[in-house]
Amino acid sequence: MGTTRFIFAGAAALSLLTSSAFAEDMTGTITRIDRLNGTISIQQMQKGTVGASAGSAGALQEYKTKDAAMLDAVHAGDRVNYTATETNGTGTLTKLQKQK
């Protein structure tokens, strides 16, 4: 019983650490920008899914920006590469680059 609790506690701690610590490069399309609040909504593009087309849309996610100036170079409808982290359920963009 004690070993089981230890394993579950370790797994829970690891999942908390990985959700906020890892940032992954992603690709998506900007659907909405709120410059007043410093937020942006991005439709993530799925990658590497078996049987899916290259343009398959994934989840729509709203992010806060690390720096409001990140939003000056992009517009709704732009395809972007971005990196985001999540802490306590809030996503924050750490990198935002318009695709050419």
The domain tally of the chain equals 1
What's the CA gap between 27 and 43, in Å, rounded?
Answer: 9
Per-residue pLDDT tens, the chain, 100 aa: give them: 566 665 655 555 444 444 444 567 899 999 999 999 999 999 998 765 555 554 556 788 999 998 889 999 999 999 999 999 988 888 999 999 999 8
pTM of this structure: 0.67
Q: Tell me the residue range of the domain where 26 lies.
A: 2-98
Q: What is the dihedral of CA 9, 11, 13, 17, to 10 degrees?
A: 180
Q: What is the CATH number of the domain that holds 76?
A: 2.40.50.320
Q: Which helix (H) or strand (E) holds 43?
A: strand 39-45
Closest by CA position to 33, among listed 73, 86, 71, 67 = 71
What's the CA gap between 29 and 60, in Å, rounded?
Answer: 9
